[in-house]
Structure 1
Amino acid sequence: GENGEDNLDSSKVAIIGPGRLGTALAYKLGRDDKKVTIYYHDAELCRVINKEHLNPKHLTDDLGRLSGGKENVPKLPSNVSATNDLERIVEENDFIFLAVTVNRLPELLNYLKQAISKRKGNTCFISPIKGLASDQKTKELITPSQIINNNLFDLSRKYKIVCIGGPFFDVDIALGKPVCVTVAGSKKMSKVVRSEIIRCDRSELTSW
């Protein structure tokens, strides 16, 4: 398409926010042989994730309980790495999961704005963000997608948003159990995200 939608590279994916869901997605996308880069602002946590291939802050304890002890927790695949360099993540990835809470989103978009404006190609944001927030000006309740559009309004030609939703549990995604995913966005980008990024044609994720 004219906006460069056709040539986005789906072999690599960035995940901003290594909380429970971000970490679970890293397991899933890593198993699918994607080159996955997790962004976290804390360099020390990134170092530990890269060394241990586990996230010490999120999900590991729960996975340990489910798999009969910490020593049985599956490691993050070797094609998953963590970095605290946000600009590099934006520069190198066409697909970016925004795995942050709705109240952290405006602050994150502030940081992302410059990097997105400098990028040559298009970016597809994949948002699993739940909940509503009140608009800073009107105080009306707005969705995460509206927050993204409000914050990046002058860059609207440079990105697309695809929303994904449950009902699913992050531990199930991490362990590769079947879950249901809803995908919403422009028809074309939703199809790309469904078939190439979260790969719903496999046994793990069924899409509606």
Structure 2
Amino acid sequence: MKQKIAVLGPGSWGTALAKVLVENGHDVTIWGREVDQIAEINQQHTNQHYLPDLLLPLELKAEYDLKTAVTGADAILFVVPTKAIRSVAAQLVAVLDTKPVIIHASKGLEQGTHKRISQVLMEEIPADKRQDVVVLSGPSHAEEVAVRDITTITAASKNLKYAEYVQQLFMNDYFRIYTNDDVIGVETGAALKNIIALGSGAIHGLGFGDNAKAAIMTRGLAEISRLGVAMGADPLTFIGMSGVGDLIVTCTSVHSRNWRAGDLLGRGHNLQEVLDNMGMIVEGVSTTKAAYELSQELNVEMPITETIYKVLYEGADVQEAAKLIMLRDGRSEKEF
């Protein structure tokens, strides 16, 4: 059934997801704040800064007025940076004329509160203004989805009826959606894998090989699981799409901006130089701070996250930090 969908955030991932929805026959409007970017999407049918040389569907509409973008929407998809989620949600409430399903495909933890994105959305958008909040996450690069590479991700909601609704919105012959009722696990895996991707990139930048990369991914997954379970997640979620799946794709590809940022850190660039070079949000940087603080609150041991935190926020030398983490006391692999 054709649905009217507003996509909030015309970055690479928001644009790629909007393209999927249009190709599935839905009426899609993408909203953003940059007038020139909105004009480019409408007139040139491109979004060159985020997805160079990709021709977008003629049916995709772009809008910089939020009220116009969401009028009559059956579903609203948030794909804005984590730091903007709360403010955009507050703006949305003031202009809603329907009771839509709220979907988010952003990955991070809110600074200060350490809350998951769905928690922020539920706080800002009252229950009488929405149907449900569904998380859309998994191993996916926008650059590959945009050219119809085979991709599988997860739609998560405590109410599987709404996860299945999102599944039906997005499913086609190159984009497959699985459902899950573990919202905490899916969001935690999505956020924390960006931290490990920074470390994986740094390992590459330092010149270490595949052994080291395998080590940081495997032990990184152990950290993600420990914190996730402490937050109430199902441990089985972390061996699924939004756990090990997302970790693999983010820790091994030059498409990953977190991996690229880590690679630059490993090559000796300081954090500000890295962020200036990237030109886009690197969610793993802020997530490292939030996850480190949360691990301290919950008394969860996360040595890789702590090491990356010290490199990012305390000026620790990345090569020395890699050496020190290897010299930690020996322990059983089965310790959780």
TM-score, length basis structure 1: 0.79
8 Å Cα contact 1:102-1:144 kept in structure 2: yes
Identity percentage over the alignment? 25
Contact 1:162–1:190 (8 Å) recurs in 2: yes
Q: 1:13 aligns with which of 5, 24, 28?
A: 5
Partner of 1:67: none
Does 2:134 match 1:162?
A: yes
CA distance in 1, matches of 2:69, 2:42: 16
More strand by share: 1
Deviation (angstroms), 1:10? 4.3
Per the alignment, residue 101 of structure 1 pairs with 81
Per residue, is there more helix in 1 or in 2?
2
Question: What secondary structure does 1:103 align onto?
Answer: helix
Structure scoring higher RCO (CA < 8 A, sep ≥ 6) equals: 1
Letter in 1 for 2:177: S
Deviation at 1:99, TM superposition (A): 0.6
Local SS of the residue matching 2:123: helix
Residue 109 of structure 1 aligns to a residue in which SS? Answer: helix
- Structure 1 unmatched runs, 5+: 1-8, 61-69
Provide the aligned C-alpha RMSD in A.
Answer: 1.6
Partners of 2:34 and 2:100 in 1: CA distance: 24
The aligned runs of 1:33-182 (5 Å cut-off) are 33-60=25-52, 70=53, 73=54, 75-116=55-96, 119=97, 121-134=98-111, 139-152=112-125, 155-159=126-130, 160-182=132-154
Q: Which amino acid aligns with 2:116?
A: T
SS of equivalent to 1:33: coil
Distance 1:198 1:112 in 2: 23
Amino acid at match of 1:129: S
The answer as to 2:194 corresponding to 1:207 is no
Matched letter for residue 173 of structure 2: S
Asked if 1:184 is matched to 2:176, the reply is: no
Q: CA separation in 2, counterparts of 1:112 and 1:44? A: 22
Matched residues in 2 for 1:130 and 1:115: separation?
Answer: 25
Residue identity matched to 2:166: V
**Paired amino acid for 1:126:** I
Moved over 4 A (4+): none
Q: If the length of structure 2 is used for normalisation, what is the TM-score?
A: 0.50
1:130, distance to aligned residue in structure 2 (A): 0.6
User: 1:37, 1:82 within 8 Å by CA — same for their partners in 2?
Assistant: yes
Distance 2:103 2:50 in 1: 20
**What residue is the counterpart of 2:289 in the other structure?**
none
